[in-house]
Structure 1
Amino acid sequence: MIRLRANARPIAEAPLLALPRFAATMNVEVFTRRLARLRLVARHIDKHLSSQLRLDELADIAHMSRFHFERVFKAYAGESPLGRVRRLRLLAARRRIEEGTGESLLQLALDSGYASAEAFSRAFRAVHGISPSQLQQQTRQMPAVRIVKLQGQEIQYVPFEGVLDDALHPFEELRAYAMLREIPRERRKGWSVLLEGGRDAWRGHARLQAGLMSAPLGGHIPGLEVGHLPDGEYAVIRIAASMDTPPIEHLAEVVGRQTDRSLRSAPILRCFHNSTYLPAESERCFDVYLPVA
Structure 2
Amino acid sequence: MFLNQDRIGATVSQSRYVIGHQQPDTDTVCSALAYARLKQKQEIDAVPARAGELNPETQFVLERWNAESPPLLNDATDEQLILVDHNEYSQTVAGARNANIVEIVDHHRIGDVETSNPILFRNEPVGSTATILTQLFADADETISAQTAGLLLSGLLSDTVVLRSPTTTERDRVVAKQLADTAGVDYEKYGKELLRHKSKIGEKTPREMILSDFKEFEFGPAEVGIGQIETVEPDVVLDQQDAVLAAMDDVATERDYAVFLLLVTDLLEEDSTALVAGTETATVETGLDTSFSNQEAFLPGVMSRKKQVVPPLEDAFN
TM-score tier after normalising by the smaller chain length: under 0.3
TM-score after normalising by structure 2: 0.25
Larger radius of gyration: 1
* Structure with bigger RCO (C-alpha 8 Å, 6+ apart): 1
TM-score after normalising by structure 1: 0.27
